[in-house]
Amino acid sequence: VISGAQSQTTLESKLEALQCHFTWDLDTSETTLYCLKDQLEDIGTEEGYSWLGHRYNLQGYIHYQLGLSNDACRFLSKAAEAFRQMRNTVSDEGPWLVVNHGNLAWLHYHRGERAQCRDHLLRLDDLMNEYPSPSQGELHPEVYAEKAWTLMKFGTDKRLQATDYFQKAIRMQPDMVEWHTSHVIGLESTLRHPEKKLVADIFEKMKIAKEHDPKNLYLAALYLEARAKQGKNIESEARELARRVLKKPIGSYSGIAPLLRLYRIYVSMDEAIDLAEEILGRHPHERYLKRCASLCYKKRIFQGSDNPLEHSMIERAISLHKDVITLYPLSSLTIEISLANIYAESNNQAKADHIYEELLKKDLDPEGTQMLYNSYAKYVHFIRKESYKSIEYHMKAAAILHQSSYRKNSINTLERIRERNRNQMCREIDEFLNNLQ
């Protein structure tokens, strides 16, 4: 007779062996979860339809992590339904439901619903037997594709893994157009950082993906950007693409963000703002568009142009930032920091100080705290000319033992100050950095 404890251990080991969001070692910091929750809502349901089931799966996991287990259940049910509609097959079941059943098994387990948990595990066993991976010793391509799509949402390190999983999925099932497209988008985003040039190989892959997926305007914008990086004049094509994007339903996959970035860098900052305002004029209540427009104004204000900023432009930037903070109440930390910096840039230091003081009182998770300390360190250095306070906040950001780009940036800044050896705090910085090792 199996004891209760043994039975529990067996159940847990089965759950641990599943391929699903609960076992993929995803970042569950509140800052990340709330930002992703909003990002997924902004995708929209009309476009990017091929990923709708995957989107609902991830939304289910995020809602569970945020303590909203009933919402999690609702999203995971919607995922199963979306896969059935999307795959349009005779059978209701298929390998694309492996991750969904895994998520549901974990959710019921956490809710103490053992019978339902075991039911999903049995259905998973049936699925795996009926649809084995075409490549022995590897996951099913559907699982690789979903894992890749999910990891793409969790930062640069995970994106590198994601592109590898997409390659594996595509190798086994080369006819899935959306996998090729997302693979290329993932590759491009990992190489967007200025220190890495867009490799010729990726440009070629992007060209092929665009030919196979001509209606994907997000990909079309990335392709134009890649050509612009090679020195091609893309202004007229960018304007033609803008006309096509304007006809599409609004959502973060409709190509608006990469198109506006393309305009800002390769057409003109003022035309980017005009385009953002035109799209917003057509859809005045779309919060995602307000976020895109606020970014354009922010970039214009901080681009360091010789032309003095018009008062109306600063007022519009401030108004958009305030709107966005209201529309994204749980993921607006970056926008609040931007607003403080805009006030500082427009010589309203009192308002900038006030925003930072209020933010510093907040109880944020490690990543949010690092972001805030790192930004505040720069603010007090450049605006208030208080180098000691700046060093103090870079140290505070670095002292939090959570890996993030903000911590890395603060550590790099402290190392540069130590190397220059001109600051009275160099000895303290040296001691601090040595203790970090």
- Give me the mean pLDDT over the 423-433 stretch: 95
Buried/exposed code over 69-79 (b: 16+ C-beta within 10 A; e: otherwise):
beebbebbebb
Angle at the Cα of 262 (from 260 to 266), degrees rounded to 5?
A: 130
Residue 38 CB partners (closer than 8 Å, separation 6+): 328, 330, 331
Query: Average pLDDT over the chain, rounded to whole?
Result: 93
- Give me the mean pLDDT over the 330-358 stretch: 97
**187-197 residue pLDDT tens:** 888 776 544 55
Q: What is the pTM of this model?
A: 0.91
pLDDT of the residue at 111: 97
Q: How sure is the predictor about 143, in pLDDT bands with cuts at 50, 70 and 90?
A: very high
Q: Give one DSSP letter per residue of 135-146, joined into a string.
A: STTS--HHHHHH
**241-268 residue pLDDT tens:** 999 999 988 888 889 999 999 999 999 9
Q: Give one DSSP letter per residue of 134-190, joined into a string.
A: SSTTS--HHHHHHHHHHHTTS-HHHHHHHHHHHHHHHHH-TT-HHHHHHHHHHHHHH
Q: Where are the domains of the chain?
A: 4-131, 364-437
**256-310 residue pLDDT tens:** 999 999 999 999 999 999 999 999 999 999 999 999 999 999 999 998 766 778 8
Q: 4-131 has which CATH code?
A: 1.25.40.10
In angstroms, rounded to a whole number, what is the distance separating the alpha carbons of residues 142 and 139?
8
- Give me the mean pLDDT over the 43-58 stretch: 83
pLDDT of residue 45 exceeding 80: no
pLDDT of the residue at 9: 81
pLDDT of the residue at 178: 94
pLDDT of residue 48 exceeding 60: no
In angstroms, rounded to a whole number, what is the distance separating the alpha carbons of residues 136 and 237?
46
- Give me the mean pLDDT over the 84-102 stretch: 87
pLDDT of residue 92 exceeding 90: no
Segments in 88-113 forming alpha helices (H): 98-110
pLDDT of the residue at 133: 96
